[in-house]
Amino acid sequence: MFKKTFLVITILIQFVLPLRAWASTPYVLEEQIEAKTLDRRAQILQAYLTKYNSPLQYHAQDFIDAANTYNLDWRLVAAISGVESTFGKFVPGGSGTPYSSYNGWGWGVYGTQAIYFKSWREGIFTVSAGLRINYLNKGLTDPLAMNRVYAASPAWGGHVNYFLADMKKFQNFEYQDTASLSNLTARVAGNSAELAFKPISSTSGR
């Protein structure tokens, strides 16, 4: 009799009680979206890109993270996107939503051929790595020096320098009037959300 009673109690503990606990607990699916507090450089860059209604404004922190990873001027990759695609507004494959190629840098674009990225973040990191490996490490450290390799137009380097200077001007003057931006957050969503992006050691870009 004791053995039967013990067996019944054991079954209750192992099966019935956990089942009741499960039934009393609501099962909720939550979408997890990563939010980061922007550092000051990202706040400045986001405010600048917002002036152009750029889709890249939501990836300001990605520009900073990539610049830190590859030791670049944090304005450089954004400035190139200004020249090549009006800050991501006109890209190969169409500029709808979602953007077809996420390639706002003319990276690997030759005639009708173009490299397609999976997200803006992937594009930012790939171009940043390519600039470090194929340009800065080879002594091409400013847009005028990069010009002969990056673009056929001899005016390209001057245009990139224009945006670099314009961003610096914005930082020193216009941004001082946007103190309310100090609490901005960057929401990583869409195609960027699932990326566990790792720094790359090589690139097949320009």
Tens of pLDDT, residue by residue over 47-88, are: 999 999 999 999 999 999 999 999 999 999 999 999 999 999
175: domain CATH number is 1.10.530.10
Is residue 205 a part of any domain in this protein?
no
Contacts by residues 91-100 (CB-CB < 8 Å, ≥ 24 positions apart): 92/116, 98/190, 98/191, 99/55
Is residue 121 a part of any domain in this protein?
yes
Based on its alpha-carbon atoms, the radius of gyration of the chain, rounded to whole angstroms, reads 25
Is residue 142 a part of any domain in this protein?
yes
Tokens of 76: 């450089």
Number of domains in the chain: 1
Is residue 124 a part of any domain in this protein?
yes
Is residue 131 a part of any domain in this protein?
yes
> What would the DSSP string read from start to end of 96-145?
SSS-SS---S-TT-BTTB----SSHHHHHHHHHHHHHHHTGGGT--SHHH
Range of the domain at 154: 37-192
- Of the candidates 144, 143, 152, 171, the one whose C-alpha atom is nearest the C-alpha of residue 81 is 143
Is residue 112 a part of any domain in this protein?
yes
In this structure, the dihedral spanned by the alpha carbons of residues 164, 167, 70 and 85, taken in order and rounded to 10 degrees, is -70
Is residue 125 a part of any domain in this protein?
yes
CA angle 206, 39, 201 (to 5 degrees): 30
- Of the candidates 73, 31, 63, 102, the one whose C-alpha atom is nearest the C-alpha of residue 168 is 73
pLDDT given for residue 84 in this prediction = 95
How sure is the predictor about 92, in pLDDT bands with cuts at 50, 70 and 90?
Answer: confident
Is residue 27 a part of any domain in this protein?
no
- What pTM value is reported for the model? 0.72
Interatomic CA distance for residues 137 and 144, integer angstroms: 15
